[in-house]
Each structure stands twice: as C-alpha cells, then as structure tokens.
Chains A and B, each alone.
Chain A
C-alpha cells in the first residue's frame, strides 16, 4: 500500500522555515544554472542568426575574421564573375564587396570607449541580408558621408541616433537611419558607403566579399574553384558557419564557467537538501515506526521520503526558473575576444533549457533525499517505536 501524497506535502508545510530555506538554496542554484545556459543560448542565437545558410563569405586565407582579412579589388572582381552567384531583382549579381574596420566610440552616459564595427556596404548588401530592416530614416545615398546605425548602437553610443553625427577617419558622418537586425550581430554595427569609407580610412582593399548562391547545393563547387584558383588567396565559408566559428571561443568560455559554477553550487544545494531530509527523518522516527506497524512497506516509506525531497527540488526549480525568465528583459554587451568588437546579446529561454533546469533541480532533490530515505526505510519497527 502506498503512503498518500498529501503526507509528504504536509510534512513540508509543517517545517515551513526549513523547507523555505532549502527551496531558496535550490532556487538560487537553478537560477544560476538557467542563467548561464540562457546566456550561451542567446549568444549562439545572435551569432548563428546573423548568418544565412545560402550566403557565402569570402575572406583572405587564414584570417579568421573580416577585420583581419583583406581582399584587393582584382581578387574581388574575380569572385564577382563566378557563375554560381544568384541574380538580384535588378539583374545584377547578388554580391557585395564590403569593408569592415573597428573603431572606438564612447558610450552614452559614461565616457567609456568600446570597439564598434563599421561596415562599408555596397548596393546589394541590404538585399543579401533580409533580416536587416530600416526602422527609422533612410538608406545612405551612395557617395555621401552618410551612415546608418544598428539599433543597439543608436541606443548605447554617443552620436548614434538619427540626425546626430559621428566623427571618425577625419570626417563627420551623419546618421540618416537606424536599422533593426532582429537578434543578430548586425545590431552592433554601423553601415556606410563602402567607397567613401575606403577612401577615408585609406584602405586599398575590401575586407570581404559576400554573395548569395543561386543553388544551395553548388557551394562545394564554388568553394573549390575559389580556393584552388592560384590568383586568389581566399577562402569561402557559408555565412552560418563563419559566424558560428566566431562565437566558438566565447561560447566555450561561458560553457566552462557555467559548468564549473553549477557543479560547485549544486554541491551546496544538495548538502542543504540532505540536511533537511536527514532532520525530517530524525524527527519522525516514532512516526515511521507507527507507519511500519500499520503495515506500510519499507518501499512505501522510501518512496514517501524521496517524493518529499523531489518536491523540494521541484519547487526550487520552479522558483529559480520563474526568476530566470525575467532575465530575458536584459541585454548583455561585451567584447567578443575573437572579433575584438562589441557584441550585444540577450538571455534567451528555450524549452530545452526549462527542461534541463527542471531535470537538474529534481536530480538535486533526489540526490539530497535518497540517503535519508534509505535510512528511514531500513529502520527496525520495535526500535523506531521505542524512540519516541
């Protein structure tokens, strides 16, 4: 026969303070666990969504990022003639030769400087990135000192809003528009006309060439042609892979940090649960004796105590996740070690994370409760009855 569920529930209620403290401890651990996973997820999402599967990025060999890369005009025009490139609505190939440089700009509010990506764009750049939408103002006119800023730049950097000017490369640049690039890394970039930017930064070469494939399956073919061409010292990557590679180090760092912290923290919480459950058992030796005398099996008693501690874990997990969900309102901006530029991303809660965090909370409850529960179920009836 099974011990009713309400028995476990009421036991927790009787020792409200202890129960609450144990749950708080577990909730904090689950909170940290979920927060780290959400951060890593948000980062990955930002950088992966930045790329489009059918877009190809061509950069100089061995340069991991666009900032380090250089593609001179001759090489860029050779890439331009590849037959696999899709054609845009205007009949021209969907290909953009871009310049990417880093500059330091002061943030609003504080005067702290941070690295920002400036991207020189060609006519088709917007068309290649349908996720980028202008939400305010207009596109810069080709051949003018006009720029558009990503949403998080406009919000967080001095002179980033529409109508304001930024000074770099010995020129004043007017911000004529703000674009929203959804969850992608472009939100932390400033875009302007590529030829103007190359002139003012005195760069003779582009940084990268980006094009859309007319047929997704032809990637391997065009990659081999570009990489084997003796006139080109370039490599081609799918855009999605290019951005995933960039977030690798950061994601790994977050994962290692998160994992180490969670393991240490969970030890603390498991100990908390163990103390609670041992006390719960010790206080109820007489009760357990009576239950046994009434005919409840050892297994039922074991189950009742395990359920009690699983309940602790469940409540802790629930509360931790509840508060972690609010983290989605925050945006984190930090330096990406690999590209060396400012990158803004937000916490992102997915079902996978909820599932993992809950499982983790229950696991903590189980580990904390199983030893006390075993000792409770092993009690001798006569001795237990005598104890009270």
Chain B
C-alpha cells in the first residue's frame, strides 16, 4: 500500500511540471479522439447503408444516366423485391458555400425502401400531393431556418435554371447514423421540366435503387442485372449500397491516410513530452534510487515506481481528454455539419484513446527505468541534484 502512496506523492512533487504534462496529454488525447471521429464520420455513409439495397448506375460513370425503361426490366429479375430511382440534382442554395445533398427521386417506392427515414404521415401526404414539394432533413432545416410551406429556390448546375420547391415535410432519422442534412423532391417535377426543354436527360434516371429479398443473394442479383444490360447503349454497374458508398471513399483515400498518420503523429509528440518529464524526474531522483537500492530494493521496485508515476500522470490527462472529447465533438458537429452530416464519438474511439495513453505511459517509462535500474549505488549516491 505504501508504494502507491509513494508513487502518488512522487507524481505531484513538481506541481507545475505535472500540471503541464497532464495538460499536454489532455490536449493530445482530445486531438486524437477528434481525428478518429473525423475518420469514422467519413465512413458514416458506409455504416448506415443496408445490406438488402443495391445501387445500379451507368457503368461508364455517374455522369451518364440510365433509361427509365430499365425500371421494369430490373423488376422482372429474380430476387428483386422493389425498384426505385433517383437523379442527383446538384443544385446550389443561394451560394456554393451552402452545400447540401439534393436529389430527385420517385417518392413512394424510394421512401418505402428507407425505413430509417421518418416523415410524419400528414407531411408525407402533403409531399406526395404537391409536385413541387420537397422534404428536407431536420438538421438542414435548422441550418437555414426553413419551415413547412417555405419556398426554396435552388440554382441548377447540371440542369440549368432556377428551380422552386415548397418544403412539405421534415424528416428525422430513426437513429443517429442517419444523415439528416439531405434534401429530396419529386422526380416527376424534374423530368417534366427536362422533357419540355428537350434535354437528353429526360426519361433517364441517374441511378436505380434495388431492394432484394435476401442479403445473401446480393452478388447473384447484381450479376444478373449487369448481364441483362450487357452490350446495350447504357451498360449498368450494380453493387451493394455499401460498396457504392465505399467507392467514393476510396477515391479520397489519400486524405484519410493523411488524417490517420497525423493522429499517430500527435501520439508520438505527446510521447516525447511525457518521456521528457519522466527522464527529468528520474535524473533528479537518482540519489534517492541509490538509497532505495542500498536499503535492499531491487531494480524492478524502482521500475515500478517510475512506471506507476508515468501511468498516473498519463491517465489523469487521458481521462480529462476523453471527458472533453464529447462537448468539443458536439461543437464540431454543429460547425461542420456541411462537411460531416454525422459526427458521433464512437465507443471504439474511447478504447483507442485509452490504448494510446497506455502505450505513451509505457514507452515514456522505459528509458528512465533502464537508467535508474542499472546505475551503480556508489555512482548514484555520488551524484547531487
């Protein structure tokens, strides 16, 4: 028991130094936790995707559409339960800064496939009745202060002109992995305007969303769909919703790798800081350690003292860091909702925080322990200060 008391007393002998080290660890763990949360936010779309949904798009790339006639052909394919379709609209609200996802979709079938999107039933009927109607996510509505009945004008980038929409509904997510910043409207509204203008995108869909009966047959169904349209003018590429989301992320892989690397760099930095503190502490106490040895304590006792101190200091910092992660992440989530619609601290992140701080504490203790354990008693006693 006495040894714990000693470790504790030792840890706070230099109040200022301990305070600074704890502060350093707190900042590092906070930064590490936030960076990890950024990474998980990046993958949020993947996590939220369902295994029973497939996405079919033009094999050339997303900027090419698929004819509307594919809808019925896909429905006939074995294993398909339902088909819906949508088109990326890419409209700008007032300024390019105000980016949010906006797309046209066939409302009845599309929403039936997304049970995680919850719209109150009277808003739903109002939306279905109004061709110019649109539904926006809860967070998006809060961001721009819209309310039901408001007219929102988007400037089309892919489809030129100013497009007016009436907010008819506000949707919520079933749980906090659902993106609540999207904006969608009736596909027919877009299509009719395109037809009138005689554009090539008329009667074409950007992608098909396919619900399958059983997640195990996803690969077979995808193959069957792609085979059906092989050698046609618009070949399809069908993949699970997850793979579809991942394909976007893999393109930005360089950024994710950079963030991951950087999150480890901060651990190295704090390792250097804690190791520095421990090295100084051990150097100052060489004389004491020599006395311990004279009294008959062994090298591992002294090692225990140093490691114990290192762990105490790091853990205090880590606990503060983890506690701060939650409120700071909340502020981030609010400020960066345009970049990251979902920004939640995962439990996994907390475990990684703890693991990282243990590694730091351990590494920081190695060198001073080695020095203190190996010093000869006479040398230790001779050294002053």
Contact = CB atoms under 8 A, between A and B. Distances in A.
A168 interface: yes
A275 interface: yes
Interface stretch (B2-10, B172-180, B269-277): B269-277
B254 A115 contact: no
A166 B268 CA distance: 45
Interface string A27-69: 0110110000001000000000000000000001111100110
A169 to B, nearest CB: 6
B27 interface: yes
Contact of A101 (B61, B156, B250): B61
Contacts of A333: 254
A140 to B, nearest CB: 20
A198 interface: no
Interface stretch (A86-94, A266-274, A293-301): A266-274
B367 interface: yes
Interface in A262-289: 264-265, 267-269, 271-272, 274-276, 278-279, 282-283
A275 B269 contact: no
Contacts of A101: 60-61, 63-64
A261 B262 contact: yes
Nearest to A371: B16
A342 interface: yes
B157 A64 contact: yes
Contacts of B266: 264-265, 268
B355 interface: no
A265 B158 contact: no
Interface stretch (A1-9, A15-23, A122-130, A153-161): A15-23
28 contacts: A15-B280, A18-B280, A25-B273, A28-B269, A62-B155, A112-B250, A114-B250, A114-B251, A168-B60, A169-B60, A201-B64, A264-B27, A265-B269, A268-B24, A268-B28, A268-B269, A269-B273, A271-B21, A271-B23, A271-B273, A272-B269, A275-B273, A276-B276, A278-B17, A332-B254, A335-B251, A335-B252, A342-B251
B255 interface: yes
A32 B265 contact: yes
A275 B280 contact: yes
B273 A272 contact: yes
A359 B273 CA distance: 21
Contacts, number: 143
Interface string B250-261: 111111001100
Nearest to B339: A253
Interface in A212-250: 233
Contacts of A374: none
B61 A17 contact: no
Contacts of B66: none
Contacts of B62: 102, 340
Contact of B272 (A24, A114, A342): A24
B247 interface: yes
Contacts of A78: none
Contact of B158 (A63, A203, A204, A253): A63
Contact of A104 (B27, B60, B252): B60
Interface in A338-359: 340, 342
Contacts of A335: 248, 251-252
Instruction: Give the top 4 A-B pairs by smallest Cβ distance, nearest first.
Output: A335-B251, A25-B272, A271-B24, A21-B276
